[in-house]
Structure 1
Amino acid sequence: MLRFVRNWKALFLLSLLTVGCGDAVCTSRRCLAEMLIKKGLLSQPQTDYCSNVIRVPFIEYQTLAVNTKDLRLISRLQADIVWLDPELKWNTSEYNYEYVVLPVGKVWTPEILVTNGIVSTMKHRSKDLIVQSDGILRHSVIINAEVNCEVNLFNYPFAFDSCPVAIQSWSDGGCGSYLILERVYSADGSQGDWKTESVEIQNLTDVRQYILVNLSIKPTNPFVTLLMPSLLILLADMVSFALPLEGGERNGFKVTLVLSFTVFLNILNDILPGDSSCSPIIRTHFCICLVLLVFSMLVSLVLTRLARDGGLIFCCGSKGTVPDNTEVKADVSVVQISSPEEDGRMLKRVVNFLEAVDADTLKKDRHLKFANNLDKAFFWFYSIGGTVYFIAMITVMVKYRCVVNHFEFWY
């Protein structure tokens, strides 16, 4: 019996030693993490003011694309966030560690929203976050947002504008989370035809904060593919005045230019930006170019008619038509000269014929000279007017500023 009691005492002491050794192991960093996980704090930290302040010390912003058809700004943001959860503090005298790593899904993490985002998704950059001994948590998230931004395209292809990306966290009735944005940095600012000039944090109110993205289009590609072809086609139309009025070569060439420009506009229908409150003036430019080409073609057709007949279409016909040579030859061939009187009458008829030919030739020369004078006058008017128009249009594209209200989503 005494031996049995001694065995039980030995087992009891051994269990005490085992428990003591377990407590000693539990002071490790991993055991500290398991202790914090067991608290199961998945709800937002609650304070007396029913609100929680989320600091965002750094945001890395990147413009992925600018959709000029649907007027969308596609962005990527990587944000570092810091917040306080007092119930995740620990005593450094028991656990001698300043930091511990916890899984993201085991504690509450704030959600960052893009107010004016049509599509906005937030995902965690890592599956873990850092907790400090004073209850401060540090984490990093990635936000992909498609923002509805009515980009000012009036100056296209020299467009420039600013788009706000409004950042906020959830709050309602004074409860929730409030963000404090501190610093933003633009990474890889050149994407496609658009370039991110700068980004800055601005505030409308204490709770309405946004990142102002200053954008500009790189004009080289649109200028080469849009403006230069229209300039060259109009230049070719001006040079076509060097072709003679008679013969029809000029009219055929001008008709070809009009058809070519029409095909060019049909091809550009899917390339030109979409419409907005500040509609791209380049649409008006193409319309004016087409009107100029058609007007030049019509003037050339009218001058060709004027050079030939001395009158406009369906207005004035030619007078005193000279008989064809075949008819004259036939008439002369049947005449038999039998006397000096007949010879004189025949000679008179030949003289009248030659005078009529000379008169008709002089008349045609006058018509041609008059038409050529009008053609030269129209050429100088067309050339000077076209040059002034192009200079004025490019000046308006570069200098004029159309104002767009980008904050209509806040009401």
Structure 2
Amino acid sequence: FEVFSSANEMFSLIVLNFPSLWAVSLCYSKLICKEGHSGPTYESMQNVFERQSFRPAVNLSNPTITNISFTLYAVLGVNEKTQILTTFLWLRLYWQHEFLVWDPDECDGVTRISLPVKQLWSPDIIVYEFVDDDVSQACPYVYVNHTGHIRWDRMLRLVSSCNLEIFSFPFDVQNCTFTFGSYMVSPALTFKEMSGNSKRYLEASGEWELVDILGETSILQFGIDEWDIITFWVVIKRRPVLYVVNLLIPSSFLMLIDILSFYLPPHSVDRASFKMTLILGYTVFLLIMNDLLPSTANGTPIIGIYFSVCLALMVISLLETVIITNVLHHSSMKYQEVPNWVRVVILKHIANLICYRWPEDAQLHPSVPQKDKHENTNTALPELQQICQYLGDLHAHLNSLQKENELQEQWCHVGYVLDYLLFRIYLLLISCYALVIICMWCVWISHS
């Protein structure tokens, strides 16, 4: 080729010499073979190589149709924050080169050869969702059949944009679009065959599982230009075992320990310190596992809401322990009588509602101190009078201790009834919340 000073000069030369180029194209409709050579001669193929910039069609009014298929080999990464999907594809292109045609009988029975792809015309296939450079290894050769049918196998590291839905994480299903476009393109295999081939190679490949590959062909028009496009919908599903083992099960164990902590006796064990230590451990667990949780500006995954609600429930259980501790200790230390409405509402109605039973010898009413039946007579000796005074003081002290014990016992019953009531409410909240979460995840799993 000559070097032209401008694109207009080159275009003018092509237009003026179009008949001659057309004649040359007709001359090279078949490659030449010689005896003693396996395949077409280098000289005949060199003439084709020199015309690699032109579409290989004898009649330029006939379109060159490119057939395309791919196999999804691996899902390399899913970045939920930037909404980017990185995949590795085995791409296969087919098209017809009308100048690379020879007779196998004249070419020592050779029916297929391999040629450098840089020396031949190749279709301009683009992916509309591409957001980064293709750094995959290039395949330098194509296979050419004696009928002019070319097959080009290439590897493609596709970094594409995808609208990722993470609300149902880690049981999420993603539907990403791959749009291949060219002036004339059509699928080489059915979408079902592409899906089956991809599933065979993707079975043991990382975190994601291929559900299906769907697609359709359509025409995209830009002004007077028309582009044939093939749109593939690649549906992939996350394998949730890693997140269930590392996130859900440890969190469930910590919640179970928090529930069992209600069985610690609140009057003799510092339950509040135990719960505060448990909350601190749960907070550290969330900080460590924060890198495993996806994050986007569009929304929060339901598992993040699950962890936040679990932490809130632990705080609620700590507040319940504070209330019970106040009832058991603060009120009793003031030697206050249990109000009558507390006896009726808590010790009678609520206790019957939650089926709480206290020991039969427990007294709900403080005993009235008995008067000293031993009256000191004025006729008693001074020594006896002093002894009687000591005995009276000892009797009064014992009555005071008995009254304090009875008040503590009554407030203990009040605290236990409230503790049982709040514990059952806490269990009801956790059960309802767990049921809702499990049902939502089961619905997503069944739909996927």
Out of 317, 325, 348, the position equivalent to 1:304 is: 325
Question: For the residues of structure 2 that align with 1:24 and 1:400, how far apart are their CA atoms?
Answer: 63
Report deviation, 1:151: 2.6
Structure-2 residue corresponding to 1:10: none
Which amino acid letter does the alignment assign opposite residue 334 of structure 2?
S
Match of 1:32 among 38, 41, 65: 41
Question: RMSD between aligned alpha carbons?
Answer: 3.2
**Distance in 2 between residues matched to 1:396 and 1:191, nearest whole Å:** 27
| Structure 2 residue 66 is matched with structure 1 residue 59 | no
Structure having the higher strand fraction is: 1
Q: Distance in 1 between matches of 2:123 and 2:423?
A: 70
**Following TM superposition, by how much is the alpha carbon of 1:217 offset from its aligned partner in structure 2, in angstroms?**
1.7
C-alpha distance in structure 2 between counterparts of 1:393 and 1:93, whole Å:
71
Question: How far, CA to CA, are the matches of 1:198 and 1:125 in structure 2?
Answer: 27
Taking structure 1 as the reference length, the TM-score comes to: 0.75
Is the contact made by 2:73 and 2:88 (CA closer than 8 Å) also made in structure 1?
yes
1:292 correspondence with 2:313: yes
TM, length-normalised to structure 2: 0.69
Q: Which has the higher contact order (CA 8 A, sep 6+)?
A: 1
1:86, distance to aligned residue in structure 2 (A): 3.0
Do the aligned residues in 2 keep the contact of 1:73 with 1:149 (CA within 8 Å)? yes
Q: What amino acid is aligned across from residue 52 of structure 2 in structure 1?
A: L
In the superposition, relative to structure 1, how do residues 124 and 225 fare at CA in structure 2: closer, same or farther (>3 Å)? Answer: closer
* Pair 154,398 (structure 1): closer, same or farther in 2 beyond 3 Å: farther
Contact preservation (8 Å) 1:53, 1:180:
no
Q: Displacement of 1:246 after TM fit?
A: 2.0
Percent identity between matched residues is 21
Q: How many angstroms apart in 2 are the aligned matches of 1:230 and 1:93?
A: 73
Superposed displacement of residue 114, structure 1: 2.2
CA contact (8 A) 1:59 1:77 kept: yes
Cα 1:146–1:126 shift into 2, 3 Å? closer
Q: What is the Cα deviation at residue 361 of structure 1? A: 1.5
Query: How far apart are 1:78 and its partner, in Å?
Result: 1.7
Q: After TM superposition, list the pairs within 5 Å mapping 1:253-332 onto structure 2.
A: 253-275=274-296, 277=298, 279-310=300-331, 318-319=334-335
Pair 1:49–1:255, CA change in 2 (3 A):
farther
Q: Verify the 8 A CA contact 2:202 2:209 in the aligned structure 1.
A: no
Residue from 241, 245, 249 that aligns with 2:262:
241
Alignment of 1:153-168 (within 5 A): 153-168=166-181
Counterpart selection for 1:75 from 80, 87, 106: 87
2:51 is aligned, of 38, 41, 60, to 41
Letter in 2 for 1:55: N
Judged with a 3 Å threshold, the aligned counterparts in structure 2 of structure 1 residues 373 and 129 are, in CA distance, closer, same or farther, namely same
Q: Deviations over 1:53-80 (max 9, x none)?
A: 2112x42222333324444322222222
C-alpha spacing 1:396/1:103, structure 2 compared with 1 (3 Å):
same
User: 2-side partners of 1:24 and 1:399: how far apart?
Assistant: 66
Q: Is the 8 A contact 1:121 1:145 kept in 2?
A: yes
1:155 Cα deviation from its structure 2 partner: 1.5
Q: Pick closer, same or farther for the CA change 1:108–1:27 going to 2, 3 Å.
A: farther
**Unaligned segments of structure 1, at least 5 residues:** 1-22, 170-175, 312-316, 321-336, 404-411
Q: Which amino acid aligns with 1:192?
A: G
1:131 to 2:175 alignment: no
